[in-house]
Homo-oligomer: A and B are copies of this chain.
Amino acid sequence: VPSFTLKEIAERVGGRLVGDPGRRLAAVRPLDAAGPQDLSFLANPRYRDEALASRAGALLLRDPDRIDGRDQVLVDHPYTALAAAMTLFHPEARPAPGISERAVVAPDATLGRQVSIGPLAVVGAKAMVGDGAVIMAGVVLGDEVTVGAGSVLHPGVVVYARSIIGARVTLHAGVVVGSDGFGFGEESGGRAKIPQIGIVRIEDDVEIGANTTIDRATFGETVIARGSRLDNLVQVGHNVHIGEGSVLVAQSGIAGSTRLGRSVVVAGQSGVAGHLTVGDGAIVGAKSAVLADLPAGAFVVGHPAIPHRDWKRAQAAWRRLPDLLRTVRRLEALLETAAPAPAATPRRSGPVRRGTRRRARKA
């Protein structure tokens, strides 16, 4: 097991060392699990009490959160520093470059330098794999697929022909890129399957979770823009455009031709209907159904999704509906006792009563 001094760690994460530069640390662990040999971290001030109680040998934290008397490294961005420290202790295990003899690589495919192609992977005709990319066991790249430099495709990924995958992209196991969109036209004669002649383009620095599916465009491109993160089991329909830095949480789905702006967040199990536009920075709460365009910065939830505040109020009122029904019935009874007087005419029967009957009959 490798170990590092606090000084080495501070240098690696670009932070300011407070305490013993020679203290040796052997792992990164969360506050409650860390012991004297471990580095831990405080990224969210909410956990300050746990940090105070932690037995960690040293801490990564922001200057305003510093804890007197502890060995620590002060940083501006504790998550970024944490990531850097974790990579120091637990370097990512990339397979060594090389082409497995057990892979099937088309003779006219183009492979960059330091590429790794795992056993039983298939690289199609005229496919291009960029420098340092890792194509793991059992991946299938269709003809003319492009994979950018440094990207990692985990086992079982399938990329349909002509798809374009950028640099430093991670596709987790079982991801399908470029499957046929659900494109058919309904007309009097029945349902016609429209050939899907477009492609999928995944830009740089995108990460896509296990078993997620991304359909190619009918015409043109389905696009997942730079820096977006899709979780597991997400569905992206044909001709969808996901803006830069957006986040789609597990089991969410975006229907065909919808455009999401930059930094949109769609929480778990939510869906956005087709042919819509969602503005930059909009947030869709969990298990919601967006059925109309959303302006930038919107925060919606529910089915149909409405502004979060409205939803919370309506939802709270909804729980009190049975009480409300009872109250209204009581008021009705009271009023129908009290109210006959309104017009001076002493009508015994009349509109009110007939109304009551009519309603009763209809119900």
Task: Judge if A287 is at the interface, Cβ distance under 8 Å.
Answer: yes
Chain B nearest CB from A106 CB (Å) reads 10
Chain B nearest CB from A348 CB (Å) reads 6
Residues of B within 8 A of A138 (CB): 120, 122, 138, 140, 156, 158
Q: A83-B193, A341-B347, A346-B348 are in contact. Are A229 and B182 (CB under 8 A)?
A: yes
Instruction: Indicate with 1 or 0, residue by residue over A143-171, a CB within 8 angstroms of chain B CB atoms.
Output: 10000000000111010110000000010
Cα–Cα, bound, A137→B138 (Å): 9
Number of copies of this protein chain within its complex = 3
Chain B nearest CB from A191 CB (Å) reads 7
Task: Judge if A295 is at the interface, Cβ distance under 8 Å.
Answer: no
- Chain A 281-318 residues near chain B, CB threshold 8 A: 286-287, 289, 291, 302-304, 306, 310, 313-315, 317-318
Residues of B within 8 A of A291 (CB): 286
Interface residues of A (CB under 8 A from B): 28-30, 33, 43, 76-80, 82-83, 86-87, 90, 92-93, 100, 102, 104, 118-120, 122, 136-138, 140, 142-143, 154-156, 158, 160-161, 170, 172-174, 176, 179-180, 182, 184-195, 197, 207, 209-211, 213, 215, 219-220, 229, 231-233, 235, 237, 245, 249-251, 253, 255, 268-269, 271, 273, 286-287, 289, 291, 302-304, 306, 310, 313-315, 317-325, 327-343, 345-353, 355-357, 359-360, 363
Cα–Cα, bound, A359→B255 (Å): 38
Q: List 23 A-B contacts (CB under 8 A).
A: A77-B187, A77-B192, A78-B185, A79-B192, A80-B192, A83-B185, A93-B161, A100-B104, A122-B155, A136-B140, A156-B176, A213-B232, A286-B291, A302-B303, A303-B303, A313-B322, A317-B322, A318-B321, A324-B324, A329-B360, A329-B363, A335-B338, A341-B345
Chain B nearest CB from A64 CB (Å) reads 12
- Are the CB atoms of B43 and A185 closer together than 8 Å? yes
Smallest Cβ-Cβ distance to A250: which chain B residue: B235
Chain B nearest CB from A309 CB (Å) reads 10
Cα–Cα, bound, A234→B361 (Å): 44
Chain B nearest CB from A360 CB (Å) reads 6
Cα–Cα, bound, A90→B317 (Å): 55
- Are the CB atoms of B78 and A187 closer together than 8 Å? yes
- Are the CB atoms of A122 and B120 closer together than 8 Å? yes
Cα–Cα, bound, A275→B63 (Å): 27
- Are the CB atoms of A318 and B314 closer together than 8 Å? yes
Smallest Cβ-Cβ distance to A317: which chain B residue: B321
- Are the CB atoms of B143 and A140 closer together than 8 Å? no
- Are the CB atoms of B155 and A137 closer together than 8 Å? no
Q: A156-B140, A333-B356, A338-B341 are in contact. Are A237 and B250 (CB under 8 A)?
A: yes
Cα–Cα, bound, A174→B253 (Å): 18
- Are the CB atoms of A328 and B329 closer together than 8 Å? no
Chain B nearest CB from A276 CB (Å) reads 12
- Are the CB atoms of B179 and A173 closer together than 8 Å? yes
Partner of A340, one of B306, B343, B359, B360: B343
Residues of B within 8 A of A207 (CB): 180, 193
Smallest Cβ-Cβ distance to A319: which chain B residue: B314
Cα–Cα, bound, A229→B331 (Å): 51
Smallest Cβ-Cβ distance to A29: which chain B residue: B219
Residues of B within 8 A of A303 (CB): 287, 302-303
